[in-house]
Amino acid sequence: MHKSQYLIIPEAIDKDLCERIIEAGDKLEIKSALTDGGKKSPYAHVRNSNVAWINTDNFKENTPDYDLMSEIYEEVDTTFNMARAEMGLENWDISDRQPFQYTNYKIGQYYDWHRDAREDPYVLGDKPNLIRKLSLSLLLNDPAEYNGGIFELETNWTNGPHEQWKRIVTFDPEKYWIQQGTMIVFQSHLYHRVAPVSKGLRKSLVGWYLGDPWI
């Protein structure tokens, strides 16, 4: 079976849940995002956005927010697993995921070209040797609420100049069915970016799914 590098799911999450995620996310302490290595990292300039985490530190048990968090993970995981199957990646070892990240991009903010996968493994609980294999980006608000902030993905990135290979896929709402609730699932080793926002505020949910290193 052909293995897809990415998949777009236009109505992955309904608008009501998107709005409830935004409402809950906006109540959290949203901080400036960092790359690996923090502010002193040589790659710190690549990222300029604001984030909060959808996790048990912020969503306490026996509260309505905790119930919402459970609903978020159930809905997103269900859609992710369907996407993984459609991409032909059911045989990929996926054993865990990191907490979902609520991300805001204000005017002038961006996340320049980067990969979610890294050489050093992640440690999650008693699992000391995991790597990111699949990522997702879920658009939470209507793209009519902002300008810029376009998600771009660079496929076949080892193959040559952009002009020759036309390897950058630009998920422009005017060309793709990108709307509130659209999810893009993609292989974590692919370079991608969120272009600078020129007007308004872009809101998204980001996730990473992990497994044992490739043999």
**Domain holding 45: CATH number?**
2.60.120.620
Please name the residues in contact with 28: beta carbons below 8 A apart, sequence gap of 6 or more.
Answer: 52, 53, 58, 102
pTM of the model: 0.91
Q: What does the pLDDT read at residue 118?
A: 87
Torsions phi, psi for 67 (to 5 deg):
-60, -40
In a domain, 160, yes or no: yes
Residue 36 has pLDDT above 80, yes or no: no
Q: What is the pLDDT of residues 65-100, one digit of tens each?
A: 999 999 999 999 999 999 999 999 999 999 999 999
Q: What is the pLDDT of residues 106-125, one digit of tens each?
A: 999 999 999 999 888 898 88
Q: What does the pLDDT read at residue 1?
A: 45
Higher pLDDT, 63 or 53: 53
Q: What does the pLDDT read at residue 24?
A: 96
In a domain, 38, yes or no: yes
Integer Cα distance of 47 and 32 in angstroms: 9
Q: How many domains does the chain have?
A: 1
Nearest Cα neighbor of 178 from 202, 154, 209, 208 is 202
Cβ atoms 155, 169 nearer than 8 A: yes
Q: What is the pLDDT of residues 149-204, one digit of tens each?
A: 999 998 865 555 554 455 788 998 888 889 999 999 999 999 999 999 999 999 99
Cβ atoms 109, 162 nearer than 8 A: no
In a domain, 1, yes or no: no
Structure tokens, 83: 């996407």
Average pLDDT over residues 10-39: 89
Integer Cα distance of 213 and 133 in angstroms: 9
Q: What does the pLDDT read at residue 126?
A: 81
Structure tokens, 200: 């308004």
Q: Could you tell me the sign of the dihedral formed by the alpha carbons of 118, 120, 125, 127, in that order?
A: positive
Q: What does the pLDDT read at residue 157?
A: 54
- Domain containing 182: what range? 6-211
